[in-house]
Amino acid sequence: MTVAFEQLYETREYFVGKWNRYAPQPLKTAARNVQYNVGTLIKKFRKIWKKTIWPYLEPLFGVPKGGAAQKRKDAQEARDRKARSTSGGSERRRRNTEYRDDIEDEH
């Protein structure tokens, strides 16, 4: 399977190289415009799908009942791990004063 994908990539690179070298400039510009316009349409469709279509289909095909609760639980655990990994919590010290003893002595 990997060999097939590599061959496809090589073939694509070959044709892109030929296209860039020999295609007339107006056609290359038109191809870039088409690519940009199709990308914009895909972005708009994804937004419409997420905001309007998927909420109606989610109860039929969506995640299991406990999926949202598990997602919140995992997010909370990640926040807790992050808070534990940073020493001092919300209190931050500058890196250059981390190993200086005279900082605590002055206060």
pLDDT tens track for 34-73 = 999 999 999 999 999 999 998 898 888 877 677 778 888 9
Mark 50-70 as b/e (b = at least 16 C-beta within 10 Å): eeeeeeeeeeeeeeeeeeeee
Query: Which residue from 40, 4, 35 is spatially nearest to 19, judged by alpha carbons?
Result: 35
19 or 101: which leads in pLDDT: 19
**φ, ψ dihedrals at 97, nearest 5°:** -105, 10
What are the pLDDT digits (tens) for 8-41? 999 999 999 999 999 999 999 999 999 999 999 9
Query: Could you tell me the pTM of the whole model?
Result: 0.48
Q: Where are the domains of the chain?
A: 27-61
Helix (H) or strand (E) holding 45: helix 25-48
**pLDDT interval class at 88 (50, 70, 90):** low
